Amino acid sequence: MKPTTRGSAALALALAFVGPSGAAAQASQGTTFGGSVLEQAYGSYSGSGGFSSGDFGYGSSTTLELDLDTKGPRARASASLEAAVLDGASAQSTWLLIEEGQVPADELFVPAARPDSGSDLLMAARVRTLYVKLDADRASLTAGRQVINYERGALWSPTDIFTTLDLTGLSPIRLGSDALRLAFPFGETGALDLVAAPGAKPARGLYSARLSGFALGVDGALFAARDGASRIGYMGADFKADLEVGFYGDLSYALPDSGAAESAAGSAAGSTGRLRAAVGADWSTGDFIFAAEYYYNGVGSAADPLFPGAYNVYGDLTWRASELFSVSASIIEDCSDRSGTGLLQASISAAQNATLSLYCKATWAEGYASPAGQAGATIAVSF
């Protein structure tokens, strides 16, 4: 697999952080280095109701994540790298995403095509975050790949236009964006947040301004943005209030320029705009934790391979039987075409910094005779 030029430069910079200069900073400025290793193995079924040998498969993956963070009095440098070796069904599903053009934009190694040998072995790597942050008394500047944390909901946040949500694993992962972020805090919780992701052509970049604060028990924000590539303007607002039950909401309105072509946001030329909204709640009682969320995706978006429909729901129930053992069940449903996923997972802390999980996962869609599914185990060790 051939590394991209931008990926090679990012990796070189990250490795420079880990080198001798990083070790010196550890003593004088405070550096933390850690990570995790995740091993996953599962059996899968993807037939149409039959039980032939071709309906069953086996997949495995080993993922290494490394995190490095160096802090000084007014500066911070942070890097998070991830590499994985995938085999069997796990590699095959990833190859399918590559061939369909759904590989995340931050992949370091993107093969041009599947090997002629039909190999089921694949190595993938990416830079999840890589940024430098400078702090002054009344402002801070962050430059590089970072997670722009505008999200309110567990899954969907219409005003969170910078972050891509990766749902291919057992838990959601928010991927970073290459951007400049300038924040002006005021009061104890308020801030004016300006973000720019100009790319190679600034006129086709993505820009936003967000004003947030806390009043009358509600944490809220107003939002405006401009997508130069799609020629769309955005307006929105979000809130979160913690009462006996935690409530949150997120709303955005996308208005395309006159004559703009159909965009990734799903708005067509000459339309009056597109509304997206999410609302949810989370609460707990005893050893049980509940979460529910509803997402209205306007007229739907064909550019969204996971949830293209207009109406989507999410629910989760977790039972924390003890500090060491928990069981959770969750469902994500696209109500428009009756497709979705369901997950049942049991986790136990087998040792210090080590967690063993057993899970069953099902995926269904309208028009298929039977759902696809997998059952397996994961072992995660952090250090």
Percent of the chain with pLDDT over 90: 49
- pLDDT tens across 174-196, in order? 888 899 999 999 888 899 999 99
- Mean residue pLDDT of the chain comes to 82
Q: 100-104, 219-223, 313-317: which range is least confident on average?
A: 100-104
What pLDDT does 124 receive? 81
> Residue 7 has what DSSP assignment?
H
Measure the CA angle with vertex 200, ends 199 and 201; round to 5°.
90
| pTM of the complete model | 0.80
- pLDDT tens across 152-177, in order? 888 888 898 888 777 777 777 888 88
Residue type, 144: G
Q: Which helix (H) or strand (E) is 12 found in, with range?
A: helix 5-18
What pLDDT does 104 receive? 60
Per-residue confidence band for 118, with pLDDT thresholds at 50, 70 and 90: low
CA–chain centroid gap for 149, Å, is 11
CB 262 within 8 A of CB 301: no
What pLDDT does 141 receive? 97
Nearest CA among 95, 159, 145 for reference residue 122: 95
What pLDDT does 191 receive? 94
* Higher per-residue pLDDT: 112 or 133: 133
Enumerate helices (H) and strands (E) in the chain, giving the number of each: 3, 20
Q: Give CA–CA dist 265/232, Å, rounded.
A: 9
- pLDDT tens across 239-273, in order? 999 888 999 999 999 999 876 544 444 444 345 68
Mean pLDDT of 199-226: 93
Q: Give CA–CA dist 222/143, Å, rounded.
A: 23
Sign of CA dihedral 158, 265, 166, 337: positive
- pLDDT tens across 308-356, in order? 578 899 999 999 999 999 999 999 998 887 888 899 999 999 888 999 9
